[in-house]
Amino acid sequence: MVKANFNTKEEITWCPGCSNFMILEAVKRALASLGLKKEEVVMTTGIGCHGKIFDYIDIGGVYGLHGRPIPVAIGIKLGNPKLKVLTFAGDGDTYNEGISHFIHACRYNSDITLIVHDNRAFSLTTGQATATSQEGYKTKVEPKGEFLKPLNPISLALSSGASFVARVNAKNIEHTSKVLEEAIRHKGFSYVEVLQDCLIFNLEINNLDKLMYKVENRDNKERARKLAEEWNYDSKTGKIPIGIFYQEKRKTLEEEF
Amino acid sequence: MRLNVLIGGKAGQGINKISEIVANVLTSLGYFTFNYRDYGSLIRGGHNFNVLSVSNKRVGSIESKLDGIVALDDLTIEKHKIELKKGGFVISYKGFENFERNLNVALSGALIKVLGIDKDLLLKELRKELNVPNAIEAAEKGYESEEKKFNFGKLKNKIKIMSGTEGVVQGFINSKADWYFAYPMTPATGVLHELGLRQNGKHKVFQAENEISVVNMALGCSFSGKRVMVGTSGGGFDLMSESLSFQGMSEIPLVVYLASRPGPGTGVPTYSTQSDLNVALRAGHGEFPRIVIAPGDPIECVEKVNEAFYLSERFKCLAIILSDKHLAESEFSSDRKPNKVLDVKIERDLPGQKIVRASSYEHDERRHTTEKPEVVKRMQEKRLEKYEKIKNFLQRNKVEMIKIYGNKNAKNLVIGWGSTKTVILDALDAIDKSIETRKGKWKFLQVLYLKPLSDEIKEEIEKVQEKKGRVIVVENNATGQLGRLIREKTGLKVEKRILKYDSRPFRSDELAEELRGMGK
Ligand SMILES: Cc1ncc(C[n+]2csc(CCOP(=O)(O)OP(=O)(O)O)c2C)c(N)n1
Ligand SMILES: [Mg+2]
């Protein structure tokens, strides 16, 4: 079988060296490795740097609104459960503008895959703080630094009932693509939080790689919770687990219908 | 011959059941009924009432003076006795208290007797529906407690009772629609409930976490190749605005059912208004085509929802069905069958078979993102061209964009839209039987398509103005939104307006008085 080539000819307008290139590569590898046909995979995207990926993968889909790619994806999946549906969203998209959709998607367990490009800033709007930006992050809005503590999206996903929860490092393309493969294969709502560097705005969060270590946990929710709490998105020390935090089998939204 | 009977009590006492039983019995005899429901935003207690208007001819409104009151509590009599005509009857709950949950059935029996209808018809109706123990006994006791006052004999009319909500549901089902997405909000909730209860594998219903999710799910689902509708009222519709604009850019077909209640803000949640025409016409940033249709009765709901599905799929555009509490929740009689159903075919490329792309970002014909000025201009024009295409299509296919009733050569022209249709018809007949005989001094122009607007509206107004006649716009809002739209589109100013914005519908006798005063 000839594996599909997911490249497009569109001009890529991410900053040179942006970690979005690595996420793009990992996604294409995962799709190719799963042997999926272009027509059977569709994506939805939010608005932000991450959303530009809509033009860079040769599959169909919907380039939606800021904060709303999740409900669009659920709608597609309800309409045609045979499709594989991937959602590319930013941290601003997912944890700020559209956080209600994120929480409810975890509950619904619609069989879609959510990939959050978490650069811990609203990068396309020039770097304001998001819900996962660290305390003290200095922006034009908050010259003295962000005064709020970040939320922990992994803990939130677990307590909201996500049936597949993972976190990866964008720079580790190999690992990211393997986790993405599992996420796409998972029957139910799979959530992959991708920690990515931003070379222009939230510089402080770059190069956390040395703190990261791989874990794999499946059906032990207690352990998943503990792993999630090992790092609070704020500290620059300690350990940052990456890998699959949790996976469970549960009836999907589409099966309910 | 026309009667108006008010049935009042506390929320939870089952006044709707009385209207329903009595209206069904009257329908089986060939009488037209119109049931108006007036209730506040509370679940138990308070004061709710229905007014059931009965006639041997078509009726679609209530009058301000009552022929009778059926009271399930004292408050009902206290509040409404001043509306009672001289010699009007009162049927009181007193003496029936021990029937408890069957109090309403007992009072139905009493009312049926007052109307002079055979007891067997009542019992037949009760057996059809109610299996509550002692209901029959209660009905019989009620029946025996009163004396005949009227004599409702058998007529030949074949009538069906339907609410606007049921009309919308029927239109949805006729269109072979696949999905309904909604978040509860009065007065759109009726459709959510009705479609929810009727899920049988042919269509599905999902209540999402909020209206923003609702409309985005709907767009996703439509993208995947399904016929999809969302339903909401003003506040929820506002939340959808950004996504309506997303529809405009992505050209994913979408049908929206907007049932209005008075705003601004939370407003008067369980009452009625026509104040959302502006927002239906304009919600969403940017410039993009859309269709806005306002049915005026339940049968038109059936037809227009089907047209909305057909047009939105054919032209890949937004189609809004604009209704309101009064149309959605009142129960109308009709002896007309809906027009032939349009077959809503999905003939576009679908994901799963092809690579299909849709975008909220400006894009070229291949739906790849662009910011090039020449492409932006071209695509903007391509989208806006649809407006003329839609209008031509509607005119070519003689889709009912307006309707004219009454004397074609009349000097007085009333213009209205949506739920005021039937009360205007009743008012004009009350003046001089203009509608019934088509010979009086009045005609009525009902606007069904608010966007696109029919060119005939301008012609009709000019015809009357040439004759030095009178043009009057009647609306259930405070600023005369249709009048302004007509002025915007035709350059003609309609001088006379009758506007009601106390959240209650027009009474036909009061409207007739006002019109009579203005007519030439
Ligand atoms: C409703 C709405 N609000 C605000 C914006 C402006 N906006 C565009 S991108 C963006 C931030 C995106 O941040 P994120 O989702 O983290 O994506 P990133 O650019 O960091 O990849 C915002 C606020 C918008 N497009 N729509
Ligand atoms: Mg971001």
Q: What is the pLDDT of residues B381-397, one digit of tens each?
A: 999 999 999 999 999 99
Angle, vertex CA B166, rays to CA B165 and CA B172, nearest 5: 95
B27 dihedral zone (left: phi>0; alpha: psi -120 to 50; beta): alpha
Q: What is the pLDDT of residues B43-69, one digit of tens each?
A: 888 999 999 999 999 999 999 999 999
* Protein residue with its CA nearest to atom 3 in ligand 1: A66
**For ligand 2, a single-atom ion, which residues have Cβ within 5 Å?**
A 90-92, 119, 123
User: How many other β-carbons are positioned within 10 Å of the β-carbon of residue A107?
Assistant: 13
Angle, vertex CA A50, rays to CA A46 and CA A53, nearest 5: 90
Ligand 1 binding residues, C-beta < 6 A: A 46-50, 66, 90-93, 117, 119, 121-125, 130
**Closest of B278, B226, B236, B285 to residue B256, by C-alpha:** B236
B15-28 and B119-129 helices cross at what angle (nearest 10)? 120
DSSP tag of B454: P
Is residue B40 within 8 Å of residue B34, measured between CB atoms?
no
The per-residue pLDDT for B23 is 97
The per-residue pLDDT for B171 is 98
Annotate B302-368 with DSSP letters as a single string: HHHHHHHHHHHHHHT-EEEEEEEHHHHHSEEEE--PPPPPP-----S--BTTB--EEESS-B-TT--
* Protein residue with its CA nearest to atom 2 in ligand 1: A66
Which residue from A52, A66, A87, A200 has its CB within 8 A of the most atoms of ligand 1, so it is best to mutate? A66
Average pLDDT over residues A209-213: 95
DSSP tag of B266: T
How many whole angstroms separate alpha carbon B190 and alpha carbon B165? 6
Residues of chain A numbered 98-157 and touching chain B (CB < 8 Å): 100-101, 103-104
Segments of chain B assigned to CATH 3.40.50.920:
402-518
Q: What is the CATH number of domain B402-518?
A: 3.40.50.920
Average the pLDDT over each of B40-44, B397-401, B428-432 and give the range with the smallest value.
B40-44
Is residue A231 within 8 Å of residue A240, measured between CB atoms?
yes
**Closest of A10, A13, A23 to residue A116, by C-alpha:** A23
Tell me the pLDDT band of A236, cut-offs 50, 70 and 90: confident
- Cα→Cα distances B505→B16, B206, B268, B437, Å: 19, 32, 13, 26
A153-160 and A221-229 helices cross at what angle (nearest 10)? 160
Q: Which of A47, A63, A83 is opposite residue B352, by nearest beta carbon?
A: A83
Tell me the pLDDT band of B200, cut-offs 50, 70 and 90: confident
- Cα→Cα distances B154→B18, B25, B27, B89, B363, Å: 21, 11, 10, 23, 65
B130 Cα distance to chain centroid: 28
How many whole angstroms separate alpha carbon B37 and alpha carbon B501? 17
State both tokens at B226. Answer: 């399904």
Q: Tokens 């970040």 identify what position?
A: A150
Residue A46 Cα to ligand 1 middle (Å): 8
What lies within 8 Å, CB to CB, of B215 at 6+ separation is B181, B230, B240, B243, B244, B254, B256
B217 in contact with A, Cβ within 8 Å: yes
Q: Is the pLDDT of residue A148 over 80?
A: yes
Is residue B443 within 8 Å of residue B407, measured between CB atoms?
yes
DSSP tag of A167: E
Q: Is the pLDDT of residue B133 over 80?
A: no
The per-residue pLDDT for B100 is 82
Is residue B221 within 8 Å of residue B254, measured between CB atoms?
no
Q: Tokens 């009579």 identify what position?
A: B516
- Strand, coil or helix: A131: coil
Phi, psi values for residue B441, rounded to 5°: -95, 5
Q: Is the pLDDT of residue B153 over 90?
A: yes
Q: What is the CATH number of domain B2-145?
A: 3.40.920.10
Residue A249 Cα to ligand 1 middle (Å): 33
Domains of chain A, start order: 17-256 (3.40.50.970)
The per-residue pLDDT for B97 is 84
Is residue B69 within 8 Å of residue B8, measured between CB atoms?
yes
Average pLDDT over residues A121-139: 97
How many whole angstroms separate alpha carbon B153 and alpha carbon B202? 42
Residues of chain A numbered 19-48 and touching chain B (CB < 8 Å): 38-40, 42, 44, 47
- What's the N-to-C CA distance of chain B in angstroms? 27
B200 in contact with A, Cβ within 8 Å: no
Q: Tokens 């490795």 identify what position?
A: A33
State both tokens at B229. Answer: 């509708």
How many whole angstroms separate alpha carbon A58 and alpha carbon A9? 9
- Strand, coil or helix: B267: coil
Segments of chain B assigned to CATH 3.40.50.970:
162-395
Is residue A90 within 8 Å of residue A74, measured between CB atoms?
no
DSSP tag of B258: E
Average the pLDDT over each of B19-23, B97-101, B387-391 and give the range with the smallest value.
B97-101
* Protein residue with its CA nearest to atom 24 in ligand 1: A66
The per-residue pLDDT for B42 is 84
How many whole angstroms separate alpha carbon B89 and alpha carbon B6? 10
Average pLDDT over residues A130-138: 97
Mean pLDDT for all residues in chain B: 96
- Strand, coil or helix: A160: helix
The per-residue pLDDT for A235 is 86
A127 dihedral zone (left: phi>0; alpha: psi -120 to 50; beta): left
Average pLDDT over residues A207-227: 95
Tell me the pLDDT band of A21, cut-offs 50, 70 and 90: very high
Phi, psi values for residue B147, rounded to 5°: -105, 150
Q: Looking at the DSSP assignment, which residues form a beta bridge with residue A192?
A: A115, A166
- Strand, coil or helix: B228: strand
Q: Looking at the DSSP assignment, which residues form a beta bridge with residue B6?
A: B51, B69
For residue B463, the one-letter residue type is K
Q: Is the pLDDT of residue B132 over 90?
A: no
Mean pLDDT for all residues in chain A: 96
The per-residue pLDDT for A200 is 95
For residues B398, B399, B402 and B405, what is the CA-based torsion angle, rounded to 10 degrees? 70
B373-396 and B298-315 helices cross at what angle (nearest 10)? 140
ipTM over 0.90: yes
Q: What is the CATH number of domain B162-395?
A: 3.40.50.970
The per-residue pLDDT for B131 is 66
The per-residue pLDDT for A2 is 54
Q: Tokens 């309403």 identify what position?
A: B104
Q: Is the pLDDT of residue A1 over 60?
A: no
**Are B213 and A47 a contacting pair at CB < 8 A?**
no
For residues B241, A160, A116 and A126, what is the CA-based torsion angle, rounded to 10 degrees? 60
Counting atoms of ligand 1 from 1, which one is nearest the CA of A46?
15
How many whole angstroms separate alpha carbon B289 and alpha carbon B45? 46
How many whole angstroms separate alpha carbon A11 and alpha carbon A7? 11
- Cα→Cα distances B39→A213, B42, B232, Å: 62, 8, 19
Residue B184 Cα to ligand 1 middle (Å): 29
**Are B220 and A75 a contacting pair at CB < 8 A?**
yes
The per-residue pLDDT for A71 is 98
* Buried/exposed code over B114-135 (b: 16+ C-beta within 10 A; e: otherwise): bbebbeebbbebbeeebeeeeb
How many whole angstroms separate alpha carbon A134 and alpha carbon B492? 60
- By the 10 Å C-beta count (0-12 exposed, 13-18 middle, 19+ buried), B382 is classed as exposed
Segments of chain B assigned to CATH 3.40.920.10:
2-145
Q: How many residues are present in chain A? A: 257
Q: What is the pLDDT of residues B207-218, one digit of tens each?
A: 999 999 999 999
* Protein residue with its CA nearest to atom 7 in ligand 1: A125
Q: Is the pLDDT of residue B496 over 90?
A: yes
The per-residue pLDDT for B292 is 98
Closest chain A C-alpha to B188 CA, distance in angstroms? 21
Average pLDDT over residues B182-208: 97
User: How many other β-carbons are positioned within 10 Å of the β-carbon of residue B517?
Assistant: 8
How many whole angstroms separate alpha carbon B232 and alpha carbon B249? 22
How many whole angstroms separate alpha carbon B372 and alpha carbon B147? 81
A7 in contact with B, Cβ within 8 Å: no
Average pLDDT over residues B152-169: 96
**Are B213 and A100 a contacting pair at CB < 8 A?**
yes
The per-residue pLDDT for A3 is 65
Average pLDDT over residues B168-194: 98
State both tokens at A156. Answer: 């939130």
Counting atoms of ligand 1 from 1, which one is nearest the CA of A66?
26
Mark out the alpha helices in B115-176 (DSSP H runs).
119-129, 135-145, 164-174
Annotate A189-208 with DSSP letters as a single string: -EEEEEE---SSS-GGGTT-
**Closest of B45, B22, B217 to residue B122, by C-alpha:** B22
